[in-house]
Structure 1
């Protein structure tokens, strides 16, 4: 390996090497996407061959429970990782782990999501395959000893290759990598991402041809007279996005409160199965259901449900569509919260498609002469809700434009995406991927100073060279410590290693040379309480806020009531300077 690295440094420039590596990562991510997609669809076909679309099917109650239980068992005994949102995990790795993603994520998410989605879990394959591609990029970068910035770039390459392959949409792959994964990237870094995205698409074309995850040929053109309706759809999409995010967090959090993982899996699986039993379109990713709506085939959309045969009842269909929209976030949250594996990419597209179709049906019902295109509103609704849920308006626009093989809907896509994003941004400042990370301080966007500051580990800069004194000690003993110490602060610590206060040279300067005071004054009578305390797990932004509020130069660090040491501003500034120099070099 070292021989290769030395040869590479002599014969291949860094820029050319990154281009070569980007193409390899794109090809590998594309192959992984094709493998996952083919596996899941094979499992779904195998399980659904016993389902009769003309009657109620009780197998819908069995499959999701089995899938989630199998996923939990595989997670515990095979891949041995922890549950969580995949893309959130990538963002955390970039922010807090120097873009190092564990090797097992190159395979674990594929295996778990294949089981979950194959057995009907109401989530998507996109996030797992993005995690796989990103993990491939990160580990390849580690293998050839690339620095943090280049590893991060390769993570974006893996993500772009994955999205490009699974949707046959290279532009959307590039924009997704830049808009969601790499929030700060220079124009010069576009080329490796472009190459990775094209490489992923080539694999998909060669191995799958037209059999991609989702595609649709436009049948209706855009009519400018429908613009007011698209504006209203943009607002509706933004509100649907808000509903999706709020319900997903609420339900997922409630399910995760069940301590026993098998009990949680059974409860979540049964609740999910009940929803799917009543609303079969929610089964799996839901792309086939969306295709039914795009074709105007409500009969197929309602197949296998209680409502089969009621497709000619317009008000009933409108009510069912509304209930499906309301139920979808519950199904997604139950799948993820109970132990299933998948992402919210597909659920947001599904919910957007149903929202757009429902909107068109309501308009047609109220104004029969409006004659608006149900397929166009379905596609644009997919763009609107995806834009709101992911906070990725450009990705949503180009994805729908590419999967429809044309740009005839570009104007309404831009309009609805922008309005939806603006609407949800009023209520939710962050995407479903970044919300928890930002609230916990694990991700900082668009502030280079705070980003560098967040890289400092508080536990590594605790100063433990301060000499401590017992609260019952006399001043004479403290004076003896003053002679030995190079510091002017003396923590007052009791027998249980608890900090009771501090004494500084300023506190004793006037009495420290008085023999009578030295013999009679007890330390606890002259100590003072620190203005604030720090915790070793505390975020650096909180630490700096405490220094700013107290105007102190040194603050003590307490862990579970026990004294650890002190943090000084000078030590923080020194650590910040070192991190900044390292970031600049990389």
Structure 2
């Protein structure tokens, strides 16, 4: 018996014996298991590569590691996997918004492989976004396999994302909140259960297979002091400004690399640029969590111990200056890595930048001796939360992630304060997050607007009406009357021999003369036609099309591409399609 027949029998049995809501919960658990294993596998792959290369890290050859990693990644992406990498979370949001939550099967393993190579060889990016893509792709494809509808498939994507974050950080609460805050825009109470199950199981798998060897963790040693409140408030503003700098600088570096069209040359140039930066500032190598751990453990002076140029620097002010340079250069390193063809995310870099920001804030205060000594470890952790909140526009995820990786809620109040202030500061300059800005600008993602979301699901090419009879400008009225007798439409596009639209004629334009024999013989179509009030392109977004209808008051508009007439789109057909999609969505939400 082949797989399809076996699956069909199972699905029939499932419909008879398991309610859909319960089945979705079961699938959430299954996705949690697979997502947790994927997170452990990715971390183990990176660890294996880094251990294998560790013997060469003391020589100048290590600056070529990023070139090798990015080059292999670019070759795999362009010639084997044949897919664009880019920012993973953006890819997921696009799939939910424009592809009915269908994610290609290759993404269940491609992002793990390519990000493992990129980060393992020193790429200055994080593993979180690739593993979220992997978990989301697993969720989407299991949903498709089990014949779930769009709403349920989207929930499975959220389960995969929650399991991935939970598994890689051992932070189940942050996994659920990240899924709700970043991936899913419309979550009901019933949807929480599968998300919780997936996130908890993802974390359990990570604990069983890795033990305490999670991506990043730290046990708090210093208490929170209420007297530090004003300092945390100021830190929040700094974190918001730094997150704005991070987003813009990273995008600038990516755009700079996009000017190089040849993938191989781009990988070599970007990898070498990254290697040169690492030659001077080794903390830029990889994700940067080792640097943050040193700072948290009071060993900030050892951060540059492996540097070829600054290993012997001991002056605290010089170290502060070098740390500030690392802060400024990290977004460039991240942009170079992604722009050159490497694979990774901005999750870890934003945490790294935040940690450096918090460290600098506390260290400068302590060196200047303003009369109050600040906890370097506490401010480093809270800084991580602040910059992550600003970059991702995910304040709750940032709060609970730092709370969970510190194994307690001692810093909960400053985390809440800095996260809120940083988010508000960044939002003043950037309305949308790093992940969503480009999608919203291009109209490929609409948040919190049901009307626009429904319109975005509609495609001009599927609404196109091609049953209108056309006529040429030099033809006589009598030939047009002959078309009127055959047609059941009252609009007649006027096109030339090359199918270029010249105008339109309606029955109202010819009603008074259409039965006059003399007019039929003497009047030519060109004298009767008029220009349409607007035209539509098949590439126009539906919001733009509806805007044209509202502006002109028309009920029908011609669709033109490269000057060629394709057909018309009518307001009535749009309304009918809109109503159908609305009913279908309401049905899916109720199921």
Partner of 1:570: 572
CA contact 1:142–1:151 (8 Å) conserved in 2: yes
> Residue by residue, what CA displacement relative to the aligned partner does 1:164-183 show, whole Å, maximum 9, x if unpaired?
11101000000001000111
CA contact 2:56–2:62 (8 Å) conserved in 1: no
Q: How far is the alpha carbon of 1:14 from its aligned partner?
A: 1.3
Q: How far is the alpha carbon of 1:81 from its aligned partner?
A: 1.6
Match of 1:552 among 543, 551, 554: 554
SS in 2 for 1:500: strand
Partner of 2:523: 521
SS in 1 for 2:269: helix
CA contact 1:33–1:162 (8 Å) conserved in 2: yes
Partner of 1:113: 115
Partner of 1:33: 39
Q: 2:241 & 2:57 partners in 1: Cα distance? A: 35
CA contact 2:90–2:439 (8 Å) conserved in 1: yes
Q: How far is the alpha carbon of 1:254 from its aligned partner?
A: 2.1
SS in 1 for 2:56: coil
- Number of aligned residue pairs: give it: 582
> Residue by residue, what CA displacement relative to the aligned partner does 1:358-403 show, whole Å, maximum 9, x if unpaired?
1111212223532100100000000000001100000000000000
> Residue by residue, what CA displacement relative to the aligned partner does 1:121-170 show, whole Å, maximum 9, x if unpaired?
00000111111111111111111111111111111111111111110100
> When the two structures are superposed, what TM-score results if normalisation uses the length of structure 2?
0.97
Q: 2:75 & 2:537 partners in 1: Cα distance? A: 37
Find out whether 1:48 has 2:50 as its counterpart: no
Report 1:292-311 matches (<5 A).
292-311=294-313
Q: How far is the alpha carbon of 1:83 from its aligned partner?
A: 2.2
SS in 2 for 1:471: coil
Q: How far is the alpha carbon of 1:116 from its aligned partner?
A: 0.2
CA contact 1:163–1:172 (8 Å) conserved in 2: yes
Q: How far is the alpha carbon of 1:309 from its aligned partner?
A: 4.3
Partner of 2:190: 188
SS in 2 for 1:49: helix
Report 1:140-539 matches (<5 A).
140-539=142-541
Report 1:81-92 matches (<5 A).
81-92=83-94
Q: 1:309 & 1:62 partners in 2: Cα distance? A: 20
Partner of 1:4: 10
SS in 1 for 2:469: coil
Structure 1 residues 171, 311: CA separation in 2 closer, same or farther (over 3 Å shift)?
Answer: farther
CA contact 1:40–1:118 (8 Å) conserved in 2: yes
Q: How far is the alpha carbon of 1:273 from its aligned partner?
A: 1.2
Q: 1:85 & 1:410 partners in 2: Cα distance? A: 30
Match of 1:20 among 13, 21, 26: 26
Q: 1:136 & 1:184 partners in 2: Cα distance? A: 20
CA contact 2:305–2:312 (8 Å) conserved in 1: no
CA contact 2:294–2:303 (8 Å) conserved in 1: yes
Structure 1 residues 438, 120: CA separation in 2 closer, same or farther (over 3 Å shift)?
Answer: same
Q: 1:252 & 1:374 partners in 2: Cα distance? A: 32
Q: 2:309 & 2:236 partners in 1: Cα distance? A: 29
Q: 2:389 & 2:309 partners in 1: Cα distance? A: 31
Q: How far is the alpha carbon of 1:427 from its aligned partner?
A: 1.0
**Structure 2 stretches of 5 or more lacking a match?**
1-6
SS in 1 for 2:197: helix
Q: 2:305 & 2:542 partners in 1: Cα distance? A: 55
**Structure 1 stretches of 5 or more lacking a match?**
none
CA contact 2:478–2:520 (8 Å) conserved in 1: yes
Q: 1:528 & 1:106 partners in 2: Cα distance? A: 54
CA contact 2:477–2:514 (8 Å) conserved in 1: yes
CA contact 2:491–2:505 (8 Å) conserved in 1: yes
Q: 1:359 & 1:187 partners in 2: Cα distance? A: 40
SS in 2 for 1:196: helix
Q: 1:20 & 1:428 partners in 2: Cα distance? A: 39
CA contact 1:298–1:311 (8 Å) conserved in 2: no
> Residue by residue, what CA displacement relative to the aligned partner does 1:508-538 show, whole Å, maximum 9, x if unpaired?
2222222222222221122111111111111
Q: How far is the alpha carbon of 1:311 from its aligned partner?
A: 4.5
Q: 1:327 & 1:266 partners in 2: Cα distance? A: 19
Partner of 2:3: none
Q: RMSD between aligned alpha carbons?
A: 1.1
CA contact 2:393–2:432 (8 Å) conserved in 1: yes
